Amino acid sequence: MRKHVTVFTLLFLATGLALASGGRPRGWFVAASAAFSWLAPGDLNARAEAQQAITDFTYEAGYEAQQRQAAGTFTYALQEAEGSGLKGIRDGFPLTLRAGRVIGPRVAVFAGLQFLGRRRTSMLRQEYQVSDRRPDQVTPAGDYRVEIAYPDYFLAARAWIPQLGVTIDLAQKKNWTAGVSLAAGPMFASLRTIEAQHYKKTDADGYWTESRYVYDMKGKGIGAAVEALARLALPLGRRLSLDLAAGYALRIGSRFSGPGSYEYRYRDSNAARDGVSYSWEDGAWRTRRLEIQRQWGELAYTLSGNDLAGFADSGEFRLDLSGWQLALGLTLAL
């Protein structure tokens, strides 16, 4: 909260300086820039991180615990595909277009539009070869194989941000100009996650069971964005300049809701069974803190989605696309 107040205060003061500058209008300009931004949208990434943690805890940690306790009568070997692992969104590339007017020797105001879109596809594929020869097991002793896969785990987020802002030149030299740029505006955002899990177990006698489910969830929300950058302008000609900028952008969206669907299928060596499928038109995105307890330990995790309505302990979902960023752009005086 203090960070939000500080940035808004700086923007307010800068705007006041611009309006009070009293300089003669110096002309219009247009600018375009592309940036690299370090992102870590925790609520959006939470579901992929949770499924990775649940899989590792349920199978690898569980088999490891049984192997330690079984004195050689239970062993396992893990084969994992290269590049296996569910991953979230970690960076982004904001694109910005602006048009503005110089209103004083050191001050200019502008209006602009920023777009930030990012998608990430990852996969998880594990195969366990298990030898279980404990005499007291309910199932017959023998060797079996367990396969777990999330073949195409998809996460996506995008945001459109109309901006109003001001640039202030703090130092002017013949070959460069240094200053600050402050901008703020609403954020209109959307997101989507597609989660497909495949599970198959094959017994020593060849009998197998297989299940698969698919979640597809979408959402739209609104929020606010504030950007504060240090700026260095290098002239390339009488009317064109190269702009280098670095700073922090606060972009947070909330009140997400949207449609979703769920589909489950099961079959075994004998036949396919009737599946389950349903959909919803407008589910609110929420987060929920959950916990799994097993003989070998506990796992706490956060699950996000728009299928969690009705849980008393659910929390609000936020799309946090904030991050430090480096930008490169061009400004053309008209």
Domain ranges of the chain: 2-320
CB atoms within 10 A of CB 168: 18
Position 13, amino acid: L
- Which pLDDT does position 7 carry in this prediction? 41
H-type helices in 60-133, by residue range? Answer: 62-69
Whether the Cβ atoms of residue 50 and residue 43 lie closer than 8 Å to each other: no
172-203 pLDDT, tens per residue? 888 999 999 999 999 999 999 999 999 999 99
Q: Which residues of 198-211 are buried (b: 16+ CB within 10 A; e: fewer)?
A: bebbbeeeeeeebb
- Which pLDDT does position 174 carry in this prediction? 85
Q: How far is CA 262 from the centre of its chain?
A: 21
- Which pLDDT does position 137 carry in this prediction? 65
Q: Count CA atoms closer than 13 A to 229's CA, side-chain side.
A: 26
pTM of the model: 0.84
Q: Count CA atoms closer than 13 A to 277's CA, side-chain side.
A: 10
- Which pLDDT does position 12 carry in this prediction? 40
Tokens coding 234: 């290098």
**Positions in the chain short of pLDDT 70:** 1-26, 137-140, 309-313
Whether the Cβ atoms of residue 305 and residue 215 lie closer than 8 Å to each other: yes
- Which pLDDT does position 138 carry in this prediction? 66
